[in-house]
Structure 1
Amino acid sequence: MASESKQDNLAYMDAIDEKRDVESVVLEDEEENSFISEVAAMVSNTDDPTLPCLTFRFWVMGVLFTVLMSFVNQFFWFRTVPMGLTALVIQLISYPAGKIMARLLPSGILNPGPFNIKEHVLVGLTANCASQAAYAVDIVVIQKVYYKQNFGFLANFLLILTTQMLGYGMAGVLRRYLVYPATMVWPANLIQVALFNTLHQDEQLLPGQWSRYKFFLVASSAMFIYAWLPGWLFSGLTAFAWLCWIKPQSILMTQIGGPSGLGIGALSLDWNNLVSYLGSPLAVPWWAQVNIGVGVIFIAYIMTPISYYLDLWDGKQFPILDSGLYTVNGTEYDVDAVMTDFMLDEAKYAAYGPLRITTFFALTYGIGFAGLTSMVTHTWLYHRHKLVAQWRQSRDHSEDIHHRLMKAYPEVPDWWYGAMFVVMTVVAIVLCEVWDYRLPWWAVLLCVALSCFFVLPIGLIQALTNQQPGLNVITEYVIGYLLPGRPIANVTFKVLGYISMTQALSFVGDLKLGHYMKIPPRAMFWSQCLGTVIAGLVNLITANWLLNSQPGICTKASTDFSCPPVQTFYSASVIWGVISPQRMFGATSIYTAINYFFLIGFLLPLPFYFLKKRFPGTWVEQIHVPVMLASTGMMPPASPYQYVNWLVIGFAFQFLMRRYRNDWHIRFTYILSASFDTGVAFMGLAVFFIFQNRGVQKPNWWGNRKDLCPLDDTSYYPLAPTAQ
């Protein structure tokens, strides 16, 4: 038994890493189950095609829970410490709701038998469309808060709709590469599969063995109780920065050990703090976490301190880790002073002076450049044979039992996806031409083309590692050169290109979940379209309500609604849109060397690929350059100490538990992740509605004092003399 488990694990690592240049995978027991141990343990290899899906119960719960989730997640996205509900929480709540509806409704069309797992999955998939606040809302926010501009509700809603749904049209082609192959695991989906099976399947238990459902209830209840400590009673546990506490008013100590600095030695005992930007460490394979860790160590703990303390780009005038905008003298950059009619004014800019950013902020842009070009090289080197083979066999080859079972259902015609792609592209062009986004029709087509070019290599990375490199940097870079001085055009181009890709992969990831759970593809298609429209509408309504009701929202003047992601988004709009990449990174700029990262990223996968050929079967095969370079993609606003603590948790479960307690790992690790997310989410809602919504402040004691280690070193950082 032990030797079989070891062989399964080795097969899993080989398959998920996609490091074999083969055209197909030959498996002995493919007829019975997946060759990947985690998939075999979590995903059923049987199906009942007679179970109803698009029932009255689904429509009611799908709409209600999508509204709830989109409101909550948009609301918390504005919060100073962002958090949100995951699809796992909706899965938990909808289960008893479905059972109650099945019991109370009269039998017949409205109530076709017991509440079944396929209805439940469709409710979760619909609500999952609201798991992230629509990125286009950030455009609406910076227009109103920073640029004092408002195009109205219709324009804002059409912008959200097109950016959220244009990418869905790409999913028709991507299915053949990212859904059908068994090696495309999508590890995060296994958490949801585990929870669905926990709720609906009767387990065969040994004497004294806990069921998954009991484990879920106990773990989520325990996390709900514990989360009150870092979330309300003892916020110091969120970042136990003991080095900074030794001398909190020391700039050096704060830079080295503070949460807003390098965070060396900082311990986080807050699950929400660990997963708010990075996702669950329990869902990422260990080999991918090692690559992320190497990237973080090299970028955040080697490149950044060396560059900063050597005063590269005059960086010592600014905080060490920050996304703020500064003048050459170290004061805050007044963007309004260089603009006229929402565009850069050359004369004002010449008089006011160039823009400066922190050393780390500049380096993260360079790493983003390298990450994009490395994806192209890596995909060609490692995946070209597999992609060609999959293209050839996509229409008549079934890779595993799950693909064969899905043939019982009619597929979504390709023209459905194609029609959606064309319609949303046309709407985007009309939107930009009718309203004053200052983005011409050819620019819309260009950003769509960029999304189409990168979506497959990025999808391969996400399907294997649960990590998604973004297109935000390259999109704003390209349009910044083509249309300089136009901030709203720049962010619109970025969102159309970047989020189209993201939404395409979100749709494909949900298709893979439906693939695992044997949901009819056409039911999935319509449920996701429904969820996306509802979520976008509620996102916009919620954002408008908060913008009109919260004074100082999305600025440093607000304590509870400072919106860190929006502030970073605004800074990017200034760097790439107002000032433009030619001025920021051109030949006359002090940051011009950042452009060499494009070449570095393109070349970097080559030596590791040849080393892998020279030393097959060694640790060299685990090196994944795009994942390594994408490791700091969420910094800022994420901080290095969050990555370090995240990696410690990942090591405990994805390495130690997987190696030494593999049975427990396969049975409970994903359930544990779901229960922790659920407990923290319920605690966060309870805190808001019981205390924060009523103006009740946190207990005033030592554990909640912010001055023990300031969370924002810009609030006390001694800037250079004010510019005259």
Structure 2
Amino acid sequence: MGFSLFLSKDKPQNKRDRSSALDSEAINDTDGGIVELNQTNQEFNSNGSIDSLKKNTVHSTNDFVELDETELEISELDDEALVEKLPPDVAELPKIVRESVTLDDDPTIPVFTFRYILLSLIFIPPGAFIDTLNSYRTTSAAYSIFFVQVTSHYLGKLLARVLPNKEINCYFFKFNLNPGPWSIKENVLVTLTAASGATSNQGTTAISIADLFYNDVTNPAVALFFMWCINLTGFSFAAIARNFLLYDPKFIWPKALMQSSLFNSMKRADSNKVEGSKQMKVFFYAILGMCIWTFFPEFIFPMTSSLAFLCWVAPRNSVANFIGSGMGGMGFLNISLDWSNITSSVMLSPYWTLCIQFAAFVLSCWVLIPAVKWGNLSSFKAGLMSNRLFTAEGKAYPTTDLMIREGKHIYFNETAYEIHGPLHMGAQQAWTIFFDYAAYVSAITWIALFGRDDILQAWRKFKSRYWEVKNSENSTEKFTSVSEIYTDRLNKIQSAYPDVPLWWYGALFAVTFVVLITIFATGHMFIPWYTYLVALGFGVLIVVPLGYLYAISNFEVAIGAFNELIFGLMIQGKAGGKHPASASSYGAIAGDAWYFARNMLQDQKIGHYMHINPRHVFWSQLIGQLFGVPFNYLALRWAIDTKRDYLNGTVTDPLRQWSAQSIQNYNTMAVQYVLLGPTRLFSTAYNKPIPFGFLFGAVAPVVIYGLHRLFPRAKFNLWNVTVFSAAMSGFYGNLSTGNISKIIVGTISMFYFFRYRHKVWAKYNFLLAAAFDTGLNLAILLIFIFFSAGKRTTMPHWWGNNAESVERCFAL
């Protein structure tokens, strides 16, 4: 395929075309729900992008775009004057992107190199193994992608110094061991490959449940191909949304922007730029500071992880303790100084998203919980903040009594169900499921109402450009890249690279489809073959709505409860045995159709920001999966073969580490949805209101849309029902600490500094977010190695680590 020669410099038609998708002030004119930057009285920040703009040439295609440096002299101008001063194709980019991404490129830099392959093979195995083991442990050692991002950069520079400049000629291909200086593009590709492969796999859950609790061992070849194919199916589903959500500059993908900011800071530091070196010093100091501090809330001084002020005032008052505790109570006025309870999401997400999440927390923990505990909101008060199942008397439900095993088949025990009675859920778990259902449906309703103009506009652009080339009289003109459709600088640069052909995604899907349908049709992996088709259908339905929300807000909706409900509805009336592991098999397929589509799209966006060939990004994802999945399986087999009695509950681990509590929770949910079935589950008066979550998710966005149309200046389109519902469903168990800390940090970062100290925000916000996460993960890894990997060592009890209650809530 040839390179595009289209270098349109048409000026944006309106202010909206060159504004950002990340502020809480101005809303776009088309009711699309995109939040844009308020550009009033903010200066364009010289965070590396001005340096790149002042270059004489920009490698955007085979032609060069000449820049007049006089256009780019930045003085004391307000944003409106500055935007008019910029070249039109640069002004089209959101301000937050202009501040974080370099706008020059050299397409001749080698990227897919021997050094890239070598470093990928070094970083994938430990990440895939450790991340899989985490699902069986109570505490775990995190494997940070930022660790890979930073470490691989310096290892790559070392390889560039020590490897010989020697060409290796194999029979089918040849390559150079050391083609030149280490490039940031190689660093990007190593990081993306590790992000794909150095992680856990949802397929291990079903395999583990079957083996641990029902002694059904999955054939190793079946297990490997199942684990490969569910993830690769998600990659193929990225094709559904990429033309809508990837190339349009209004979709900024905040997490991709954060990683790109770190890459560019490392690149500037390598160029001996004073500003880049200063940024990297701040980055490493922040890592060191967060790493040292994390030892306090996580080990030395656990009290700092949940500062329950009401418990200090009345340490023996049960009411005050319940209201103030963040570990077993409502978390009122509770502050956490543990970054693991805050995370970098509060420094990436738009401020309106953070406000909605905090409002959901307030409603859930400060309104509904006391209304159940001390009011008449619910007649069933047992297990208020528990995710276990109960009898009507409030006792733990003996779910294993509901199973009858006959050979390889498991049947529902009607007699035991009549003896023990209907299942009851704790009140918080009940409204968690209610809002889980609401979030799924509202994502579709919301995009149909608020996002349709953006999606239709992207589709019309793609269609018009495609037919323009197809019907062109110039027979040599080819439609090589969707980037040709857009006129902003980043898309001009990317148009130098051929796009990933649609047939690549189609071929990937076809291969995975044949393999998976064969697995299910031959009776493996526990689900009927037709349910696989339904899982694919729901995956197609949800990729664009959830991708739309994630691309503008960095908010991800969990869809597990909905998937397991749908599977339960499909099989509840069928004769024959129903294996509890089947729900996890179905959920892995339907879930990964979205989760891995998101991963592919986000990594493609990083490639877009860093000027990487999209085909290289595509293959990096496949390489990551190819090498990562075998290590996922090896970790699974090692854990089950060596820790089986601990994991299935036969013997209690003396270190309390190998508990497999997440696996056991999935098994309990499987009994609920697979054996009992949704009809029985929701037949009781107590559980009947839960399915009305679907109605709420369908109707609430319509109400908000009506209010928005009636009062367009009131910003009702910021009242995102999907974010609210997903946040309402996100409070598991009795941990309610950290939410006040989140809104405080978010207000400082995404409101105060973003609006009033924007130059400082643009230079350091994304770097600090990455540094804090890296420091946290490094500290947790060190704590795991020092105190949990072998013999477990506990911190001696003292005032800040009280044996009875680290919060000093002694009456809870």
Query: Do both proteins adopt the same fold according to a TM-score greater than 0.5, normalized to the shorter chain?
Result: yes
How far is 1:662 from its partner? 0.9
1:306-317 matches, within 5 Å, as 306-310=371-375, 314-317=379-382
Query: Is 2:708 the partner of 1:612?
Result: yes
1:491-512 deviation line (CA, Å, top 9, x unaligned): 2212211122111111111111
1:38 maps to: 96
Q: Offset at 1:157?
A: 2.1
Deviations 1:446-491 (A, max 9, x none): 0110011011001000001111112212211111112125422222
Q: 1:574 aligns with which of 671, 674, 693?
A: 671
TM-fit CA distance, 1:382: 0.8
1:55 partnered with 2:113: yes
2:337 aligned partner: 269
User: Which residue, 261, 274, 297 being the options, matches 1:194?
Assistant: 261
Is the 1:230–1:237 contact (alpha carbons within 8 Å) kept by the matching residues of 2?
A: yes
Cα-to-partner distance string for 1:525-555 (whole Å, 9 max, x where unaligned): 1110111232222122113222333352376
Aligned ranges for residues 705-720 of structure 1 at < 5 Å? 705-708=802-805
1:299 aligns with 2:364: yes
Q: Is the 8 A contact 1:248 1:709 kept in 2?
A: no
What is the identity, as a one-letter code, of the residue corresponding to 2:350?
P
Q: Say which of 703, 728, 731 aligns to 1:635.
A: 731
Offset, 1:80: 2.3
Q: Distance in 2 between matches of 1:579 and 1:166?
A: 30
Give the Cα–Cα distance (whole angstroms) in 1 for the partners of residues 362 and 223 of structure 2.
40
Judging changes above 3 Å, is the alpha-carbon distance between structure 1 residues 268 and 38 closer, same or farther for their aligned structure 2 residues? same
Partner of 1:79: 137
Cα distance per residue 1:89-132 (max 9 Å; x no partner): 11011011001100000014010001101110000000111464
- For 1:293 and 1:131, the matched residues in 2 are separated by 32
The answer to whether the 8 A contact 1:16-1:464 is kept is no
Q: Distance in 2 between matches of 1:615 and 1:178?
A: 28
Give the residue type in structure 1 aligned to 2:398. D
Shift of 1:377: 1.6
Task: Give the conservation status (yes or no) of the 8 Å contact 2:153–2:184.
Answer: no
Residue 489 of structure 2 corresponds to residue 401 of structure 1: yes
> Does residue 454 of structure 2 align to residue 374 of structure 1?
no
Cα distance, 1:314–1:567 mapped onto 2, change above 3 Å: farther
Amino acid in structure 1 at the alignment position of 2:712:
P
SS at structure 2 position matched to 1:523: helix
SS at match of 2:527: coil
Amino acid at match of 1:562: S
Out of 112, 115, 123, which is 2:182 matched to? 115
**Distance in 1, Cα, partners of 2:489 & 2:508:** 30
Q: Measured at CA, do residues 521 and 554 of structure 1 come closer, stay the same or move farther in structure 2, by a change above 3 Å?
A: farther
Q: State the SS of the aligned residue for 1:343.
A: strand
Structure 1 residue 475 corresponds to structure 2 residue 563? yes
Query: Once superposed, what is the RMSD of the aligned Cα atoms?
Result: 3.1
Q: Distance in 1 between matches of 2:809 and 2:589?
A: 32
Correspondence for 1:721:
none
Partner of 2:23: 13
Corresponding letter in the other structure for 1:585 = F
Equivalent-residue separation in structure 2 for 1:712 and 1:581 (angstroms): 39
Mark the runs of 5 or more structure 1 residues left unpaired by the alignment. 718-724
Q: Of the candidates 521, 527, 541, which is equivalent to residue 439 of structure 1? A: 527
**Count of residue correspondences:** 705
2:756, 2:360 → 1: CA distance? 27
Partner residue of 1:603 out of 671, 674, 699? 699
Structure 2 residue 366 is the aligned partner of structure 1 residue 331: no
8 A contact 1:281–1:649 mirrored in 2: yes
- 1:720 aligns with none
Report if the CA contact (8 A) 2:24-2:352 is conserved: no
Q: Deviations over 1:242-285 (max 9, x none)?
A: 4346677876455433313322232211112333xxx5311111
**Counterpart secondary structure, 1:376:** helix
Letter in 1 for 2:456: V
Cα distance change on mapping 1:172 and 1:602 into 2, 3 Å: same
What displacement does 1:231 show?
2.1
CA distance in 2, matches of 1:179, 1:95: 26
**Are 2:555 and 1:462 equivalent residues in the alignment?**
no
Identity of aligned residues (%): 25
In the superposition, relative to structure 1, how do residues 388 and 343 fare at CA in structure 2: closer, same or farther (>3 Å)? same
Q: 1:213 aligns with which of 280, 284, 291?
A: 280
The answer to whether the 8 Å contact 2:303/2:806 transfers is no
Contact 2:431 2:729 in 1 (8 A): no
Q: Pick closer, same or farther for the CA change 1:567–1:23 going to 2, 3 Å.
A: closer
Q: 1:232 to 1:535 in 2, by over 3 A?
A: same
Match of 1:171 in 2: 238
Whole-angstrom CA distance in 2 between matches of 1:616 and 1:633: 29
Give TM-score, length-normalised by structure 1.
0.90
- Distance, in Å, in 1 between the alignment partners of 2:155 and 2:733 is 37
| Deviation per residue, 1:597-635 (Å, 9 max, x gap) | 211221111222122223324343322111111113432
SS of 1:227's equivalent? helix
- Secondary structure, counterpart of 2:647 in structure 1: coil
Structure 1: distance between partners of 2:705 and 2:18: 25
Residue 552 in 1 paired to residue 620 in 2?
A: no
Match of 1:352 in 2: 420
Counterpart contact for 1:343–1:487, Cα < 8 Å: no
Query: Aligned pair in 2 of structure 1 residues 323, 19: CA closer, same or farther (>3 Å)?
Result: farther
State which of 139, 158, 166 in structure 2 corresponds to 1:100.
158
Corresponding letter in the other structure for 1:295? A
1:633 to 1:517, Cα distance in 2 relative to 1, 3 A: farther
Bigger mean CA offset, 494-503 vs 692-701? 692-701
The change in CA–CA distance for 1:9 and 1:170 in structure 2 (over 3 A counts) is closer
Cα pair distance change 1:208/1:678, threshold 3 Å: closer
- Which whole-Å deviations, capped at 9, do the CAs of 1:146-186 have from their partners, x for residues lacking one? 44432243332223212211111111232101111111110
Q: Deviations over 1:377-408 (max 9, x none)?
A: 21111111221221121263214211121111
CA contact (8 A) 1:159 1:428 kept: yes
Gap change, CA 1:226 and 1:448, over 3 Å in 2: same
Counterpart-to-counterpart distance in 1, 2:258 and 2:382 = 45
Q: Which has the larger radius of gyration?
A: 2
Residue 37 of structure 1 deviates from its aligned partner by 1.6
**241-250 vs 73-82, which moves further:** 241-250
Q: Is the 8 A contact 1:344 1:486 kept in 2?
A: no
Q: Give 2:677's aligned amino acid.
A: S
Counterpart-to-counterpart distance in 2, 1:365 and 1:272: 25
